[in-house]
């Protein structure tokens, strides 16, 4: 580990069902208020699942003009606003990082890019217009963030289903370590609460069917869980070399210390029942960070609320850390599953957990599944000294784990 570049998280930005600013986002998580509601963006009365976690009060006017907004899908708009906020946050107090455009990079992640535009056009019986491709291409968010902030270095997009957000932040870490960039803005975005996506996830058995009580539908690790609640949102972080951040007097929220990525190579939608890929991923991230299992104080679980995923992840956590030893929480219990943005949103939650020294609760846990022999946090709990692990496990067997540590300098 000697000589390894240390990487600081210096900026955060969110657009989520739990809030469009960091304070509201964190307060919603800590108070454990579900964000699942009946869908308001279209008439879902005839759908088998008519609820989701949508971003409330999403106002783009302070960020883009009407003409600019018409060139972007909702997913891109969410990303642009969250990335703008993350970069402004990184500059707060210490000024903008003195990094030339050629040494800046952006990495975005998405799984279902352009869903709203695609569905409105094709199901609406319209012919695709001149903006259809720019609005639906997966790299649209990266392109717009690059143009807005004159990012002339690497500009990339990752699409690994529900692990996309975690992978983007990890790949940002790698860009700083290998010397490809001096500043990286990285995150995920998704705006997939549409008729087609809802129906498709319902038909593959992934969504909760608790139509009468949406706020109690997302139930990670609960014996009565029956699937996830679909969500939208975006989250971005700004990453810099720690020495650069300290030199310019920046606020350092946390260090991004480790990154793991593996594949199950098992099934298109189901996790490896033994969790071998997930276990290797977490171990890889810990080794990359130079952190032992005994040094971990908290795991922000993928915790989707699906029957198979929760058991598999819980068993891996138990094997690595011991039964009910490390506190575990699921951010998805509060704000649903934002697919390609989920890992980035949860990484921000992990950073804020370290920053505030507090673990937010998992809600709707009435009776914990006995097959999940882990310490699920049910009420806000002080964070003990140690590292935080953030997991993202996806359809296709894609796995990503991040290790975050405190910076007390």
Q: Which of 181, 213, 247 is the last residue of a domain?
A: 247
Residues 273 and 216 in one domain: no
Mean pLDDT over residues 160-181, rounded?
A: 98
367 falls within a domain: yes
Residues 64 and 117 in one domain: yes
CA 96 to chain CA centroid, Å, is 25
302 is catalytic: yes
Q: Which of 212, 247, 282 is the last residue of a domain?
A: 247
Q: Is the dihedral of CA 56, 213, 341, 243 positive or negative?
A: positive
Catalytic residue among 337, 355, 360, 398: 337
Residues 243 and 389 in one domain: no
pLDDT bin (cut points 50, 70, 90) of residue 2 is low
Q: Which residues pair with 7 in a beta bridge?
A: 241
Residues 132 and 67 in one domain: yes
> Residue 408: what pLDDT?
86
255 falls within a domain: no
Cα–Cα dist 268/145, whole Å: 32
Structural domains counted in the chain: 2
CATH number for the domain harbouring residue 283: 3.40.47.10
Residues 184 and 206 in one domain: yes
202 is catalytic: no
Residues 293 and 197 in one domain: no
> If you write DSSP's letter for every residue of 311-369 in order, what string do you get?
HHHHHHHHHHH-TT-SEEE-THHHH-B-GGGHHHHHHHHHHHHHHHTEEPPPPS-SSB-
Residues 87 and 158 in one domain: yes
Catalytic residue among 53, 81, 162, 372: 162
Q: Which of 193, 212, 247 is the last residue of a domain?
A: 247
Residues 312 and 207 in one domain: no
97 falls within a domain: yes
1 falls within a domain: no
Cα–Cα dist 226/243, whole Å: 46
pLDDT over threshold 80, residue 409:
no
303 falls within a domain: yes
- Are the beta carbons of 407 and 242 closer than 8 angstroms? yes
State which H helix or E strand residue 197 sits in: helix 195-203
Least confident of 50-64, 79-93, 124-138, 311-325: 124-138
> Residue 289: what pLDDT?
98
Residue-wise pLDDT tens digits, 194-238: 999 999 999 999 999 999 999 999 999 999 999 999 999 999 999
Residues 296 and 329 in one domain: yes
Residues 302 and 401 in one domain: yes
Residues of the chain with pLDDT > 70: what percent?
100
pLDDT over threshold 60, residue 280:
yes
Catalytic residue among 149, 167, 302, 355: 302
pLDDT over threshold 80, residue 1:
no
Burial class (CB in 10 A: 0-12, 13-18, 19+), 399: buried
Locate tokens 């990079």: which residue?
105
Residues of the chain with pLDDT > 90: what percent?
95
Cα–Cα dist 235/400, whole Å: 16
Residue 24 lies in domain: 7-247
pLDDT bin (cut points 50, 70, 90) of residue 4 is confident
What residues contact 67, with CB distance under 8 A and at least 6 apart?
Answer: none
Residue-wise pLDDT tens digits, 101-160: 999 999 999 999 999 999 999 887 788 999 999 999 999 999 999 999 999 999 999 999
Residues 11 and 43 in one domain: yes
337 is catalytic: yes
> Residue 39: what pLDDT?
97
pLDDT over threshold 80, residue 381:
yes
252 falls within a domain: no
Cβ-based neighbour number of residue 247 at 10 Å: 12
pLDDT over threshold 80, residue 79:
yes
Cα–Cα dist 242/6, whole Å: 5
CA within 13 Å, CB half, 86: 33
C-alpha dihedral, 170 to 172 to 174 to 178, nearest 10°: 180
Cα–Cα dist 28/25, whole Å: 5
> Residue 160: what pLDDT?
98
Residues 219 and 310 in one domain: no
Mean pLDDT over residues 338-354, rounded?
A: 98
């Amino acid at each position: 580990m000697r000589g390894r570049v240390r990487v600081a998280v210096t900026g955060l930005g969110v657009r989520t069902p739990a809030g469009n600013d960091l304070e509201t986002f964190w307060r919603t998580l800590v108070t454990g208020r579900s964000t699942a509601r009946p869908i308001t963006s279209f008439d879902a009365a005839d759908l088998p699942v008519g609820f989701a976690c949508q971003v409330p009060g999403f106002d783009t006017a302070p960020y883009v003009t009407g003409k600019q907004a018409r060139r972007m899908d909702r997913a891109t708009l969410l990303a642009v606003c969250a990335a703008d906020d993350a970069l402004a946050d990184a500059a707060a107090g210490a000024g903008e990082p003195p990094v030339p455009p050629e040494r800046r990079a952006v990495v975005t992640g998405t799984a279902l890019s352009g869903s709203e535009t695609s569905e409105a056009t094709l199901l609406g019986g319209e012919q695709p217009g001149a903006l259809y491709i720019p609005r639906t291409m997966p790299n649209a968010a990266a392109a717009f963030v690059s143009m807005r902030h004159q990012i002339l270095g690497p500009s990339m997009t990752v699409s690994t289903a529900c692990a996309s957000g975690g992978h983007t932040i990890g790949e940002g870490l790698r860009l700083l370590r290998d010397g490809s960039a001096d500043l990286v803005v990285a995150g995920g975005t998704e705006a997939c609460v549409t008729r087609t996506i809802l129906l498709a996830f319902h038909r593959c058995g992934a969504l909760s069917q608790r139509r009468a009580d949406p706020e109690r539908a997302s139930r990670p690790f609960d014996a009565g869980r029956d699937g996830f609640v679909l969500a939208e949102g975006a989250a971005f972080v700004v990453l810099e070399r720690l020495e650069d951040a300290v030199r310019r007097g920046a606020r350092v929220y946390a260090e991004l210390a480790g990154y793991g990525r593996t594949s199950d190579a098992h099934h298109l939608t189901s996790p490896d029942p033994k969790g071998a890929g997930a276990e290797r991923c977490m171990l890889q991230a810990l080794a990359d960070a130079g952190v032992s299992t005994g040094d971990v104080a908290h795991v922000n679980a993928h915790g989707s609320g699906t029957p198979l995923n929760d058991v598999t992840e819980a068993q891996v956590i138990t094997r690595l850390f011991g039964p009910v030893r490390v506190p575990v929480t699921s951010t998805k219990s509060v704000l649903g599953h934002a697919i390609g943005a989920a890992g980035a949103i949860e990484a921000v939650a992990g950073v804020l957990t370290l920053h505030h020294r507090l673990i937010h609760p998992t809600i709707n846990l009435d009776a914990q599944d006995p097959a999940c022999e882990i310490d699920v946090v049910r009420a806000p709990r002080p964070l003990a000294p140690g590292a935080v692990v953030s997991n993202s496990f996806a359809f296709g067997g894609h796995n990503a784990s991040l290790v975050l540590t405190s910076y007390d300098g």
